[in-house]
Amino acid sequence: MSPSLPASEAPAYAPRNYLNAPEKGWRSWLTTLDHKRIGVMFLVATSVFFAVGGLFAMLIRIELLTPGPTIMDAMTYNRLFTLHGVVMIFLFMIPAIPSGFGNFLLPMMLGARDVAFPRLNLLSFYVYLTGAAVALYGMIAGGADTGWTFYTPYSTTTTTNVVPILLGAFILGFSSILTGLNFIVTTHTLRAPGMGWMKMPLFVWSIYATSIIQILATPVLGMTLLLVALEHAFGWGIFDPARGGDPVLFQHFFWFYSHPAVYIMVLPAMAVISEVVCAFSHKNIFGYKAVAYSSLGIAFVGFFTWGHHLFTSGQSAVDAGIFGILSMFVAIFTAIKVFNWTATLYKGSISFKAPFAYFVGFLFFLVFGGMTGVALATVSLDVDWHDTYFVVAHFHFIMVGGVIMAFLAALHYWFPKITGRMYPEGWGLVAAVMIILGFNFTFIPQFLLGNMGMPRRYFHYPERFQALNVASTAGASVLALGLVIVLVYLVLSLKFGAVAGSNPWRSRGFEWDTPSPPPPENFLVTPVITRGPHEYDDSAPDFPPSTAPEPKHAS
């Protein structure tokens, strides 16, 4: 796609790239329509909130070192875990990979110049900032103590300042919808000549599936949060048990969004992993169609399982049965991906770099976290585990173990593409090992705490739980230290990293066929796709020719 670029020469830093062209200066960034700049701005913003959420997490862990008050009172603690959840979920995990990496990469992987609606894309970023500002205002002006789940009637009667946080999440939903809409239309209409649906990179498939969930589930959450805000502000509620309302209905609505939202977070992680596993084993994906379609399967079936959050809430046994059995099916799609990724390694040529290390972590956490998820959906076991630390550990395995591993893998894998420079590989591996081990030490004790019966959101706890809590906090410190190391070396690499060249990993992904950092128009010449996205089997050393005589228009 960039035939002018000589292959396997000394790496070059593209002199004219999206960072300095068409204009320089922060003003040009704030008004940019370039999907790459918007993606980078999303990455920076979400990373800041990741740090904030991480700080809250550390404070929570420190507080739990002793059975009684350690560094704060119960009210502060309740606010902290609420804010930790809200920040991590709505401000970091939901937008991080789709809006950040997705924005940067999706058009490039499709061979497009931009997303379909660049203005909407910028609007999405500002809507995100607005939502974040409103939510932050709520946090500063008192914060909420409802947990990120906002269960009524507690959330409608709490004296804390929950309304701005609800509204913040409501506004953030619009950002999510706009991004999803943009990606779907982009995928449908802006594929490069020659790129049929079955030649799309798996990253695109997963992001596409994510977008479907975003546009279909988010409006329901928006409405639900608005209803809670109305009920809190004016008593104008439809969940109020005193007026015949059903608080369990809120839980239905909430999880109708929030269970698929788990896949809004995990599918992009899987998107990243599908790319990383091919690039670092230098091998064609095993079962392209299976992996691609399983993304859509997750998106679809993910909507049918929300009731497994309600097994103990008074939901009927009939619904519990329906949701229980449907939940078994959604895990299958994840299993398909896991098996296919593992099979991809077979007869590969594996370079064990930092992104691959995160893939290893991801694989372990996803298998264990996913299977404990199925275990939780096993109805009678859920009755015991529900709302205990087992659930906390399970979803952190998926969320932290899955999403953050993938986020870090993506950060390392595409760091050369985004910045044009390399990160220090040695430090990368050290940090990866620390993060993966620290993570295990943090959350495996929490599984055991859940088995012992420690409920979540507990400020005081009986003394018999202390040893495991201390172990968990110790693990969290290692995890935090690892993350700080990553932050430090990545920031330093921006300035001092070795120049990467257009394709340091010898990856076959289409985004690597253009200089690093990419030019504002992504490709120097309009690419014509002649091969699949993950093909490593031909004998051509690096860049197979990618021109075809007759450009075929994708519709």
Partner 1 sequence: MADPAAHKNEHSHRKRYLAVWVALAVLTVLTYTLARIHLPGAWAVTVALLIAVTKGTLVALFFMHLWDQTGANRLVFATSLVFVALLIGLVIADNATRFPLANPPGSLGALPAGGADRDLPEAAAETEGP
Partner 2 sequence: MNELMRRMLFLPEQASEYARSVDQLHFFVITTTMIAAAAVFGVAIYFFVRYRRRSDTEPTPRISPRPIHEVVFIGLPLSFFLLWFALGFPMFVSLQVPPKDAMDVYVLGKKWMWKFAYPGGPSSLDALRVPAGRPVRLLITSRDVIHSFFIPALRLKQDALPGRYTQTWFTADTPGRYQIFCAQYCGVAHSTMLAEVVVMPGAEFDDWMAEQRRGLKSAQDSSPVAIESVRFGSSLVGEGERVAAEQGCLKCHSVDGSRHIGPTWLNLYGRAEKLTTGKTVIADEAYLTKSMMEPGADIVAGYQNVMPTFQGKLSPPEAAAIVEYIKSLRTSAARPGPSEPPAYEPIPPGK
Partner 3 sequence: MQASPLAHHFESLDKQAHAARLAMWIFLATEVLLFTALFAAYSLYRFLYPEGFAQSSRSIETWIGFVNTLVLVTSSFTVATGFHHASKGNGKGTGIFFGLSVLLALVFLGFKAVEYTHHFQEGQLPGPFYHYEGVKAPGAPLYFALYFLITGLHAFHVVVGMTVLIVVGTLAYRGKYTVAYHVPVENAALYWHLVDLIWIFVFPLIYLI
- Between residue 205 and residue 234, which ones bind partner 3 under the rule CB under 8 A? 215-220, 222-224, 227, 230-231, 234
User: Is residue 452 close enough to count as binding partner 3 by CB under 8 A?
Assistant: no
Our finding on whether 244 is near partner 3 (CB under 8 A) is: yes
Rounded distance between C-alpha atoms, residue 388 and residue 461, angstroms: 12
The reply to whether 555 sits near partner 2 by the rule CB under 8 A is no
Query: Do 391 and 385 meet the contact criterion of CB atoms below 8 Å apart?
Result: yes
174: tokens are 């619009």
Cα(302)–Cα(258) distance, integer angstroms: 10
Q: Does 238 bind partner 1 (CB under 8 A)?
A: no
Partner interacting with residue 218 (select from partner 1, partner 2, partner 3, none; CB below 5-8 Å by kind) = partner 3
CB 212 within 8 A of CB 299: yes
Whether cis (ω within 30° of 0) applies to the bond prior to 153 is: yes
**What is the length of the chain?**
555
Q: Is 360 in the site for partner 2 (CB under 8 A)?
A: yes
Does position 303 interact with partner 1 (CB under 8 A)? The reply is: yes
Considering beta carbons, is residue 179 or 503 the nearer one to partner 2? 503
Query: Letter for the amino acid at 334?
Result: T
Q: Of partner 2, partner 1, partner 3, none, which one sits near residue 461, judging by CB under 5 to 8 A according to partner kind? A: partner 2
- What track of x and - describes contact with partner 1 for positions 186 through 205 (by CB under 8 A)? --x-----------------
Selected from 245, 348, 532, 551, the binder of partner 1 by CB under 8 A is 245
Cα 217 from chain centroid?
16
At 388, is the secondary structure helix, strand, or coil? strand
Specify whether the backbone of 529 is left (phi greater than 0), alpha (psi in -120 to 50) or beta: beta
Minimum CB separation of residue 207 from partner 3 in Å reads 15
Fill in the per-residue mask, 309 to 348: x = in contact with partner 2 (CB under 8 A), - = not in contact. Answer: --xxxx--x--xx--xx--xx-xx--xx-xxx-xx-xxxx
Calpha distance 529→200 (Å, rounded): 10
Site stretch for partner 3 (CB under 8 A), options 60-68, 247-255, 275-283, 365-373: 247-255
Q: Which of 246, 319, 387, 535 binds partner 3 (CB under 8 A)?
A: 246
Q: Among 335, 340, 339, 352, which residue's Cα sits nearest to residue 282?
A: 352
Does position 412 interact with partner 2 (CB under 8 A)? The reply is: no
In Å, the largest CA–CA distance within the chain is: 74
**Cβ pair 443, 517 in contact under 8 A:** no
State which amino acid sits at residue 307: G
Tokens coding 195: 């790129």
Token pair belonging to 237: 């509620």
The option from partner 3, partner 2, partner 1, none interacting with 222 (CB < 5 to 8 A, set by class) reads: partner 3
Q: In sequence order, what DSSP letters do the residues of 393-417 get, joined into one string?
A: HHHHHHIIIIIIHHHHHHHHHHHHH
The residues with which 499 forms a beta bridge, in sequence order, are: 421
**DSSP sequence for 283-296:** S--S-HHHHHHHHH
Q: Which residues lie below 8 Å from residue 513, measured CB to CB, with a gap of 6+?
A: 1, 2, 502, 503, 523, 527, 543, 546
Can you tell me which of 4, 15, 243, 542 binds partner 3, judged by CB under 8 A? Answer: 243
What residues does 388 pair with on adjacent strands?
A: 455
The reply on whether position 241 binds partner 1 by CB under 8 A is yes
Report the partner that residue 234 touches, choosing among partner 3, partner 2, partner 1, none (CB closer than 5 to 8 A by kind): partner 3
CA distance 321 to 451: 24
Q: Does 310 bind partner 3 (CB under 8 A)?
A: no
Residue 286's binding partner out of partner 1, partner 2, partner 3, none, with CB under 5 to 8 Å set by partner kind: partner 2
Q: Which one of partner 2, partner 3, partner 1, none interacts with residue 457, CB within 5 to 8 A by kind? A: partner 2
212 makes contact with partner 2 (CB under 8 A)? no
Binding mask 118-157 for partner 3 (x = CB under 8 A): x---------------------------------------
User: Rule CB under 8 A: is residue 329 a binding residue for partner 3?
Assistant: no
Q: Burial level of 379, CB count in 10 A (0-12/13-18/19+)?
A: middle
Binding partner 1 (rule: CB under 8 A), the pick from 244, 346, 542, 550 is 244
Residues 81-120 that bind partner 3 (CB under 8 A): 112-118
| Choice from 249, 322, 470, 499 touching partner 3 (CB under 8 A) | 249
Which residues would be at the binding site for partner 1 (CB under 8 A)?
A: 188, 212, 216, 220, 241, 244-246, 248-249, 252-253, 256, 303-304, 307, 310, 314-319, 322-323
Binding site for partner 3 (CB under 8 A): 112-118, 177, 181-182, 184-185, 188-190, 215-220, 222-224, 227, 230-231, 234-238, 240, 243-246, 249, 252-253, 553
